[in-house]
Structure 1
Amino acid sequence: MVVPMSRQFFSAWLLILIVAGTLLVLSPRLEQPSLAEDLASRGFEILEAVQAAITQLAEQVTPTVVTISPLRPQASSRAFPRSRSQTVPGSGSGVLVSPDGYIVTNHHVVGEDAIEAEVRLSDKRRFIARIVGRDQDTDIALLKIESNEDLPWAPFGDSTRLKVGQWVLAVGNPMGLDRTVTLGVVSGIGRDTVNISKYENFIQTDAAINPGNSGGPLFNLHGEIIGINTAIIHMAQGIGFSIPADMVVHVVEQLRTRGHVVRGWLGVGIQSLTPELANKFGVSPGRGVLVNEVFKNDPADAAGILPGDIIVSIEGTSVETPKQLSRLIARFGPGETVHIDVIRNGRRHTLPVVMGEKEERAVTASLPFKTTEVALGIDVQTLTPGLAERFGLNERSGVLVSKVDRGSLAYTEGLQVGDLIKEVNRKEVRSVSEFSEAIQRVKPGDTILLRIVRGSRAFFVVLKTQGAG
């Protein structure tokens, strides 16, 4: 096991480094040449000591880093009825996280069709690892090798306490260069707009990460794993991303015990709260996530969550984006009771929700389009069973859009023929007459909040009517 260095040790060295740098700057200004030379000499000694500490850390952690080459089944033939798996071109990195041979890497390193992988340790020993489990949604995979003796390994650190500016060490095998060590800092935390996996909360670092580093560890100065390196932005320098340790630990434990990851399911369609939507719902922009659909008989429905509710916190953690909400819900297990705070008609409510189990189903929340102040420009008709079947709507009531005038406000907002209007300004409309009454109450210059169902998805949109003039 890598023995973590004490926090006091590195804090002391950092303070010494600052003092040494100051002395180096001031030494030429000192009137006594001998004193200046002595301070400069001591400053360089301190810098060399700090350098030695970093070197010692690299020497401690590099034995835990492995090279991974995925293997896949080889086609059998009469001559070779049972052939050994063959190596898939390309390789990545991984890190030993227990003395009995568990290895964490990226899902994309092992791929979907590999059944095992060749693992090469720093001492050149080779093992065939079985794939314990993989999770594409977080890009994590867990492997296991068997050895008659304890293997070098590294513990996980607490990534929730990371701060921008902290030093980190990235170790991996870029371009086939074994156990390459790069030093950098944490450039950012909570990055969730990279769009390379479903659940994102990346650590951003400027420690050099290159092809082949995928699956390798990101260490703090105590020799603890605080991230698993997963991606870089091509055509950019100094921008790499690591999966935070707290997410990795949660996934790895389930892969180890179950072979797959089980996640909580709320059963809602959601979208971002834009300034226009926030204004209509009477809340501050960016405060919460808007519920645009509640799936029948799912946990949210049973708990009393409604379309138009704004989810502002989950178990005391503030919610600001749809991705964050999805990530928070996924951390709970089926059957757990989770307290969710919503704002409904300006009032805050806390609802206990018993989580369901997430299944792979396609649920997409449409996002509103940019607006321009022009006429409404739609024709509507009351929904009938025939129209519902024709447009693939699992609804019994509402107002169907039968025509959208090109260039109109509705056209600009993205409304389409076949869209079903369920609400106007938070009031349900079940017929053309109810829709007309709701529209007649709108004054020139007012905004109109519509709840739309399109196929199997729902979303809110704000229309800005033209002012009187």
Structure 2
Amino acid sequence: MSSPFSSRFAARGVLFPLMLLAAACAQAIGSPASPPPPSQTATTPQESPALPAVTVPTAGSLAPLVEAVKGAVVNVEVQAREPVAARGRLRLPPGWGSPFGMPDMPEGDARGPVQQGLGSGFLIDAQGLVLTNNHVVENAERVRVKLDDGRAFDAQVLGRDPLTDVAVLQLEGAPKNLPFVALGDSDAMRVGDFVLAIGNPFGLASSVSSGIVSARARDIHAGPYDEFLQTDAAINPGNSGGPLFNLKGEVIGMNTAIVREATGIGFAVPSNLIHSLLPRLEKEGSVRRGWLGLAAQDLTPDLARALNLDIDKGALIAGLNPGGPGAQAGLQDNDIITRVDGTPIVSAGSLTRAVGLMRPDSQVAVHVLREGNPLELKVTLGTRPAQPGEPAVPTREENSAAAKGRLGMRLADDPAGQGARVVQVEPGSPAERAELPAGTLLLQVGGQKVSTAREAAEALRSAKPGSVLLLRIQPPGSAVSLLRALPVPS
């Protein structure tokens, strides 16, 4: 985003100066051109009959591919507030400070002023499901998505994952026949394969650039799950959250970061990683990761010789959390982890990534070498806690943006499961005028009883603009239900 609340990448003391891409990005559509990888789930988009067939470029032109995909890439416009506590961590690149400034806030005010930001995203199903970067929508109070054909819709943040910089949005009130693109198989990409990016660098709408995959599985020290595709396709502030295509018109990466003051060095989140996160982000709003409760380091050839081992790849256990899942299962210091279930482990990083994609409370087979002898242990994974300096996993309450732009309120699930709880109301909004203060319990929206924030959000989104919606509520601190009339803006 081109705003002062960008970048965990730029703020974490990276080995070289990185910046998150910031500003509006481009558009792209196409139908699935090949079967998805095995990790794809039921959330995978289905083919839309409105989409043109993707034509593999011929005669040296990418024009057919561009025409086939550009309609599904969207602009993401955000109104957001930067938490005051976060200001000191920001290290914006020269020339990308806030045009609005960052005035001092009164003591006790937990949020900064409203800022405007722009990013990109892309539709992955005909019903309005959009992928973008977490840093584009983080701290957002209103999200509005513009399509390539000029239509615009408010959007709800269904889920976001700060550690991989992935977020999922749902368009509100959109038709069910939108153009979309398919997620391809990023593991099938080779160094040297051609790729295409479409975006709005520096506000130059629908700019197209092409290049190759420059490297795979690149760790840029932005987080524990770094495994980026590197490309020399020109991406700049403005491409953030936008798609990186293969020549079949499939998205094989989401453009996320660039090296500051460098040319032709950009990074994209691999599509297969997005595949694995999508079901949890869509349904749960966040990603809870598996945890072994240990510290590991790479097994080097020198360490292998010192330990009298005939292998030189794996994750060497350097320490165990007392009482953690690994210790309870019998793992020991100096064990060499070589495989977790069916995933080979070749380094400490590969161990972190493999376990992080697994669900807490699941039981996995951990294969180790102990004093040269192979051993298999069954470990029930714990839930990975946020590490010092890492953002906490966002809750469903933080991700819920039900009608927040149009109606001016945010919802969360009621802990007792009785309905949807109003957790924030904007001053002067329709929600405030309808006497729906924070703490109000929504029991019924229109003629529909609601038991979760998502049900309430869907009912609110479906309300006809200009209508008056009848709500049954329970005011804060009251056991009596009342009726309220909520005007829906045109």
In the alignment, the residues of structure 2 paired with residue 94 and residue 6 of structure 1 have an alpha-carbon distance, to the nearest angstrom, of 22
Post-superposition shift, 1:148? 2.8
Post-superposition shift, 1:213? 0.6
1:60 matched residue in structure 2: 68
Question: SS at 2:322's partner residue?
Answer: coil
1:24 matched residue in structure 2: none
Post-superposition shift, 1:360? 2.0
Q: CA offsets, 1:219-278, max 9 Å, x none?
A: 111111111011111222211111001111222221100011111111111123344433
CA contact (8 A) 1:70 1:114 kept: yes
Q: 1:71 aligns with which of 74, 79, 87?
A: 79
Q: CA offsets, 1:326-363, max 9 Å, x none?
A: 01101111232222211111112122222222222459
1:139 and 2:165 are equivalent in the alignment: yes
Classify 1:6/1:258 alpha carbon distance in 2 versus 1 (closer, same or farther; 3 Å): closer
CA contact (8 A) 2:119 2:239 kept: yes
Post-superposition shift, 1:94? 0.6
TM-score between both structures, scaled by the size of structure 2:
0.60
Classify 1:268/1:49 alpha carbon distance in 2 versus 1 (closer, same or farther; 3 Å): closer
Q: 1:160 aligns with which of 187, 202, 208?
A: 187
In the alignment, the residues of structure 1 paired with residue 249 and residue 301 of structure 2 have an alpha-carbon distance, to the nearest angstrom, of 44
Post-superposition shift, 1:119? 1.3
Q: 2:245 aligns with which of 201, 219, 223?
A: 219
Classify 1:273/1:185 alpha carbon distance in 2 versus 1 (closer, same or farther; 3 Å): same
Unaligned runs of 5+ in 1: 8-46, 75-84, 365-469
In the alignment, the residues of structure 1 paired with residue 334 and residue 223 of structure 2 have an alpha-carbon distance, to the nearest angstrom, of 28
Percent identity, aligned pairs only, is: 39
Question: SS at 1:108's partner residue?
Answer: helix
CA contact (8 A) 2:289 2:357 kept: yes
In the alignment, the residues of structure 2 paired with residue 363 and residue 174 of structure 1 have an alpha-carbon distance, to the nearest angstrom, of 30
Higher helix proportion (structure 1 or 2): 1
1:349 matched residue in structure 2: 375
Letter matched to residue 276 of structure 2: H
Unaligned runs of 5+ in 2: 1-28, 36-55, 83-111, 391-490
CA contact (8 A) 1:70 1:87 kept: no
Post-superposition shift, 1:4? 4.2
Question: SS at 1:90's partner residue?
Answer: strand
CA contact (8 A) 2:131 2:169 kept: yes
In the alignment, the residues of structure 1 paired with residue 200 and residue 364 of structure 2 have an alpha-carbon distance, to the nearest angstrom, of 42
Post-superposition shift, 1:299? 1.7
In the alignment, the residues of structure 1 paired with residue 80 and residue 267 of structure 2 have an alpha-carbon distance, to the nearest angstrom, of 28
Q: 1:50 aligns with which of 53, 59, 67?
A: 59
In the alignment, the residues of structure 2 paired with residue 219 and residue 161 of structure 1 have an alpha-carbon distance, to the nearest angstrom, of 13
- Structure 1 runs of 4+ aligned residues shifted over 6 Å read none
Which structure 2 residues correspond to residues 58-457 of structure 1 after superposition, within 5 A? 58-72=66-80, 88-111=115-138, 113-146=139-172, 147-192=174-219, 194-283=220-309, 286-362=312-388
Post-superposition shift, 1:122? 0.7
In the alignment, the residues of structure 2 paired with residue 134 and residue 99 of structure 1 have an alpha-carbon distance, to the nearest angstrom, of 21
RMSD, matched Cα: 2.7
In the alignment, the residues of structure 2 paired with residue 363 and residue 144 of structure 1 have an alpha-carbon distance, to the nearest angstrom, of 30
Letter matched to residue 128 of structure 1: D
CA contact (8 A) 2:199 2:208 kept: yes
Question: SS at 1:124's partner residue?
Answer: coil
Tell which deviates more after alignment, 159-168 or 209-218: 159-168
Post-superposition shift, 1:208? 0.9
In the alignment, the residues of structure 1 paired with residue 343 and residue 158 of structure 2 have an alpha-carbon distance, to the nearest angstrom, of 32
In the alignment, the residues of structure 2 paired with residue 222 and residue 48 of structure 1 have an alpha-carbon distance, to the nearest angstrom, of 9
Post-superposition shift, 1:105? 0.7
Letter matched to residue 182 of structure 1: S
Post-superposition shift, 1:175? 0.6
| Structure index of larger Rg | 1
Question: SS at 1:287's partner residue?
Answer: coil
In the alignment, the residues of structure 2 paired with residue 285 and residue 236 of structure 1 have an alpha-carbon distance, to the nearest angstrom, of 38
TM-score between both structures, scaled by the size of structure 1:
0.62
Count of residues in Structure 1 that have an aligned counterpart in Structure 2: 313
CA contact (8 A) 2:196 2:211 kept: yes
CA contact (8 A) 2:80 2:117 kept: no
1:376 matched residue in structure 2: none
Q: CA offsets, 1:300-337, max 9 Å, x none?
A: 12221001111122223332222221011011112322
In the alignment, the residues of structure 1 paired with residue 57 and residue 300 of structure 2 have an alpha-carbon distance, to the nearest angstrom, of 53
Q: Which has the higher contact order (CA 8 A, sep 6+)?
A: 2
Question: SS at 2:230's partner residue?
Answer: strand
Letter matched to residue 341 of structure 2: E
